[in-house]
Amino acid sequence: MKSLVSKRWLLARLYEPDIIIADCRSLLGQAGAGRAQFNEDHIPGAVHFDLEEDLTAPLGEHGGRHPLPDADTLAARLSRAGINASSRIIAYDDQGGMMASRFWWLLRYLGHEQVYVLDESYNAWKEAKFSITADQPIRIPSTFVANVQPQMLTSMEEVQRISEGSVPIGSYIGFSPILIDSRERPRYLGLEEPIDQAAGHIPGAVNFFWKGVLDEKGTFKNSEQLQQHFADLDQNAEIIVYCGSGVSACPNVLALNEAGFSKVRLYPGSWSDWISYEENPIVVGEE
């Protein structure tokens, strides 16, 4: 199932009644910063969803820096935005699709398939002189019913078994699972760590920096280009994707789906969850 749409596709459908636009502009660790941007201007009719306030649960001892929100809590937030089972939702941001992809993944995780990501940034929309507004949307509340898809995620214990080289998990026995680290290469190698308390990567992980799925203009590559980008990966293998906290891994998950990979799962707690368990090993440098 394709998950990317162009700005012209959205422009042509902007006022169709089942279209709901999700403005996902946010700044990591800065609750409300994206909402301030939204209040200045946004695509007409858009509803804002903040990473820290709407798409993340409160922090705990484990679960990483951006734990998954409670399904019922997020469903209630979606209901207030007028989203229901028949809604077609288009998510955008101005950060290469990182926040929009987190929203996309969460909606898919809650069982909603008609959710898409704008393949270009909000800045590209503005540069094209398409309509923007500062008006606050008035949404009629609806009812969104969550149908959680647990097969879309992977637990820390499962990642441990994969990292240790145990028997492949899940229903894809016969193919070795692949761990993908979506962070920048210096962070993967442990040469720098600007956020988390330990540097390095999960043993056995390979590095595909998430911005590699974008072209030089910051637009998502097309399906053929993404197939080439991931050409070294076995399409029959189960793929587990992580990053620092389960946010920037989501563009990689989306891109892998666009490239035809069907057995892709997210480790939502990611590196920040992995290192919260003192017994978990880490690797610094190449393997």
Instruction: Supply the residues annotated as catalytic.
Output: 243
The token pair at 61 is 């001892």
Reduce the secondary structure of the chain to three states and give it as a string.
CCCEECHHHHHHCCCCCCEEEEECCCECCECCHHHHHHHHCECCCCEECCHHHHCCCCCCCCCCCCCCCCHHHHHHHHHHCCCCCCCEEEEECCCCCHHHHHHHHHHHHCCCCCEEEECCCHHHHHHCCCCCECCCCCCCCCCCCCCCCHHHECCHHHHHHHHCCCCCCCCCCCCCCEEEECCCHHHHHCCCCCCCCCCCECCCCEECCHHHHECCCCCECCHHHHHHHCCCCCCCCCEEEECCCCCCHHHHHHHHHHCCCCCEEECCCHHHHHCCCCCCCCECCCC
Residues in CB range of 91: below 8 A, 6 or more apart? 21, 22, 24, 49, 100, 101, 103, 104, 115, 116, 117, 118
CA–CA dist 226, 91 (Å, integer) = 20
- Contact indicator for 42, 48 with CB cutoff of 8 Å: yes
